[in-house]
Amino acid sequence: MRVLVTGAAGFLGRGLIGALLDDRSGRPPVDHVLAADAVPCPVRDRRVVTRTGDIADPAFAASLFEREVDLVHHLAAVVSGEAEADFDRGLHVNVDGTRTLLDACRSLRTPPRVVFASTIAVFGGRLPDVVPPDFWPRPQSSYGAEKIIGEVLVAEYTRRGFVDGIAVRLPTVAVRPGRPNAALSSFVSGIIREPLAGIDTVCPVPLDTRLWICSPGIATANLAHAGTLAAAALDGDPLVNLPGLTVTPGEMLDALERVGGRAARARVRCEPDARVTRIVGSWAGALDPARARRLGFHVDRDVDAVIAQFVRSAAST
């Protein structure tokens, strides 16, 4: 199987490539991964070929399909904080890049499976306590608006038979390793990662804010699973709300204290930021996972398991 991963140099891209190349997964074996991003992908494997360029450039996108591709994982995106700060760049990468990639897919003899990584940021406004699968999104951020445009494009290109698409709405992924990024949800990882490293940090939202999260391991496993689902299983609806856990920052800090003690928790101070609170607080705090679970997607056990996964990962690097 030949796979294209866009956004391959990013955190989720690297993890997904690792999951796709795992010969123990039981999924169809992958013998070639084309890892595309604006910067080189650091994954070192004989089956991985790195390509660098602008995904919204038609010539670059076309070059990714010079040979047949069976599966496309489209992760390339400008994250929420950057999309809010730079409207034109967000549109260029998140909207123009998605359409350009889908257009390039039309050159293939056989429509490829396209997995589009969307987000719970497509939701906003007045939400029910638990958002049902058919709830109409009303994004309250540029990032959310750009992602819902991408979802519609994937659905339309699938309807026309150009691709075999599925758009999966990822929860906030935590705990991410490395440094903070420009995502407005970056603090969700930061209030665990930084204290455990002995670094003081800030929680910019009220401690009772409901968050819908999943661990990196579950996120990459679910992305990989989306690539294997039969089109018939989707029953004509290519949009899937992925399972997650509803937690609050307060509950995450309780779990942090159980792992790192009072000293770790004391490294987090609460300084509400009205801008972050307004946008993150508009996202869904819980989604009905029934359809996703029927389709075979996975969920973390609890917030302690999410933090334990991060601690194990950090210890192994």
pLDDT in tens, the chain (317 residues): 999 999 999 999 999 999 999 877 777 889 999 999 999 999 999 999 999 999 999 999 999 999 999 999 999 999 999 999 999 999 999 999 999 999 999 999 999 999 999 999 999 989 999 999 999 999 999 999 999 999 999 999 999 999 999 999 999 999 999 888 888 999 999 999 999 999 999 999 999 999 999 999 999 999 999 999 999 999 999 999 999 999 999 999 999 999 999 999 999 999 999 999 999 999 999 999 999 999 999 999 999 999 999 998 887 76
> pTM for the full model?
0.95
Domain membership of residue 24 (yes or no) is yes
Domain membership of residue 149 (yes or no) is yes
Distance CA 304, CA 309 (A): 9
Domain membership of residue 274 (yes or no) is no
Residue 151 identity (one-letter amino acid): E
Determine the distance from the C-alpha atom of residue 170 to the mean position of all C-alpha atoms in its chain, rounded to a whole number.
5
Structure confidence at residue 283 (pLDDT) = 93
Domain membership of residue 263 (yes or no) is no
Distance CA 171, CA 219 (A): 8
Domain membership of residue 311 (yes or no) is no
- Residue 199 and residue 264 in contact, taking contact as beta carbons nearer than 8 Å: no
User: How would you class 283 by CB atoms within 10 Å of its CB: exposed for 0-12, middle for 13-18, buried for 19 or more?
Assistant: buried
The total of other beta-carbon atoms located within 10 Å of residue 159's CB is 12
Q: How many domains does the chain have?
A: 1
Nearest to 115 by CA among 172, 69, 160, 79: 69
**Sheet strands side by side (includes 48-52):** 48-52, 32-37, 2-6, 71-74, 113-119, 164-170, 239-241
Nearest to 282 by CA among 175, 127, 56, 70: 127
Domain membership of residue 273 (yes or no) is no
Domain around 64: 2-171+214-243+288-299
Domain membership of residue 221 (yes or no) is yes
SS3 176: coil
234: CATH: 3.40.50.720
**DSSP state letter for 96:** I
Which of the residues are catalytic? Answer: 143
Structure confidence at residue 78 (pLDDT) = 95
- Residue 216 and residue 176 in contact, taking contact as beta carbons nearer than 8 Å: yes
Structure confidence at residue 305 (pLDDT) = 94
Residue 209 identity (one-letter amino acid): T
DSSP H or E stretch at residue 36: strand 32-37
Distance CA 217, CA 132 (A): 25
Domain membership of residue 100 (yes or no) is yes
